[in-house]
Chains A and B, each alone.
Chain A
């Protein structure tokens, strides 16, 4: 259970992630806003409470890893990394600028603190499983986290990775499904229904939980609980809302949209007033 102070700190961190993500997207006037905003509380709990990392030594052997398989959500992850000191916050404004180190999609060769390159959906879970298995073989206690989108789980490779992870008992792998129920072309349930995801993971012999993905306490507790359970890889289905926290985007199709300076300022003001 998070203390009141810690909850307040994570809440503020989440706000700042949203603000900085809007700032980034406003510089070019567009971005993958919806999916970046839906996973903000997940990022807040990971980088504010659960993950072991050292921004001064980003490749530290003892660190936990994050594979953000939904690579298009890079900007909110960049915000979390900058706010935690991996690189200067001002650098966020170089998103998608010429020669930038911050491309739309996560790139481990370009951005300090990005552990894996993603962007072609459905590949991150295998990478995370490989990392988790590698730590097992080396006898190391690092945890590997992965954030995958519900739409992205339509890719068959994920289910291959699920079988592999269960077969190898990768209990050092914690997958957070950013279950925002919407993909680029519409509502996931209308296109290729993925529910019930917790039952699907459980059927693949995973430890599966389901939580409100915008509830910081619930997310933190679920990760704590996962860490206590040995023998199986862990899935936390985090029910979220695409575009969460940006009032003019919530409830709209907001996968990749225009973000004008004025619209960004309005949203930032609203977030800071909360």
Chain B
């Protein structure tokens, strides 16, 4: 019962969004599973939205452009045993409806699953208004909120299932585009347990979401210079796998975090908090450095925000030098 790593890490043929469609298509036979939408159904599911609406007409609920009501309705329905996935862009399903998520959701003990699509620079040409660099920070501050960010389609599908099978509030930070294949079908993931996907003893890179693929490239760059980096896919941002973070810090003596988010309040902060309390080692954080988003292609944005493989590799060497 563990993960099976992909040998090739090739870019997937299907976009990650397809994993969500497949999850719904396979699981909506359970009439309690709902997709509650705020007019971005065609954005996340493309024409597959019509397939779901056709097959499960009462379970695909588009409330229109009203995210606050979408969250409220979902919380109300969850009190009757439904399991609603509520989708909008990452900005709107967290920042715009923070109080609804906090009070009607978490504080009231509701059971809804928030899907925030296009995290960070994946918002690309929608630009600064749509580029969530703060969503994880917001959700981390809510008690009893679980936060996961899948890095490929296999783990995404597994996490949709885990969210539905676990009572409570989830935030699933979800990129829609094609991603590198990291895991093979049959892998088993446990929320609260990060995945070591490359072993190494010189430094640990702890990454999530799209930054796992970027970090894989960084591992290769470091290897060319004789540096053996360990790579952890910390898809479970909250609860963080503290045990693994501390173990990696002890064994490698230096840590770099890599996230497609502001370094304030996200994965980097979570890891820093754990290390400061339990095992201080040199730490470097890759991510947006307290700034807003902007329009651009993903490659350009990686450069602008210092999230490219070369940036991660450089940060790794920096922290190794501080050991």
A residues at B contact (CB < 8 Å): 67, 107-109, 115-120, 123, 125-135, 137-138, 156-157, 160-161, 163-164, 167
Contact = CB atoms under 8 A, between A and B. Distances in A.
Interface in B79-136: 79-82, 99-100, 102-104, 107-109
B109 A127 contact: no
A129 B64 contact: no
A268 to B, nearest CB: 33
B112 to A, nearest CB: 10
A164 B69 contact: yes
DSSP class of A's interface residues: helix, strand, loop or mixed? helix
Given A127-B76, A133-B77, A134-B80, A157 B103 contact: no
A119 B73 CA distance: 17
B66 interface: yes
Contact of B80 (A107, A123, A126, A138): A138
Interface of B: 31, 58, 61, 63-64, 66, 68-69, 71-82, 99-100, 102-104, 107-109
Contacts of B103: 117-120, 123
15 contacts: A107-B108, A116-B79, A117-B103, A118-B103, A119-B103, A120-B99, A123-B100, A126-B73, A127-B72, A129-B69, A130-B78, A131-B76, A156-B68, A157-B100, A164-B69
B69 A157 contact: yes
Q: For B73, B81, B82, which residue has the most chain A Cβ atoms within 10 angstroms?
A: B73
Contact of A134 (B63, B76, B99, B107): B76
A164 B80 contact: no
A123 to B, nearest CB: 5
B290 to A, nearest CB: 29
A40 B75 CA distance: 27
Ranked nearest first, the 10 interchain pairs of A and B with the lowest CB-CB distance are: A130-B76, A126-B72, A117-B108, A160-B69, A134-B80, A160-B66, A130-B73, A127-B76, A157-B68, A131-B76
A158 B86 CA distance: 19
Nearest to B81: A134
Given A120-B99, A123-B103, A130 B109 contact: no
Contact of A157 (B31, B72, B109): B72
A131 B72 contact: no
Contacts of A109: 108-109
B68 A126 contact: yes
Nearest to A137: B58
Q: For A160, A163, A164, which residue has the most chain B Cβ atoms within 10 angstroms?
A: A160
B117 to A, nearest CB: 21
A119 B100 CA distance: 11
B71 A126 contact: yes
A127 B80 contact: no
Q: For B31, B74, B79, which residue has the most chain A Cβ atoms within 10 angstroms?
A: B79
Nearest to A71: B103
B76 A133 contact: yes
A161 B72 contact: yes
A79 B103 CA distance: 24
A130 B68 contact: no
Given A116-B108, A157-B66, 9 more contacts: A117-B103, A118-B103, A120-B102, A120-B104, A123-B68, A123-B103, A134-B76, A134-B82, A157-B68
B111 to A, nearest CB: 12
B178 to A, nearest CB: 35
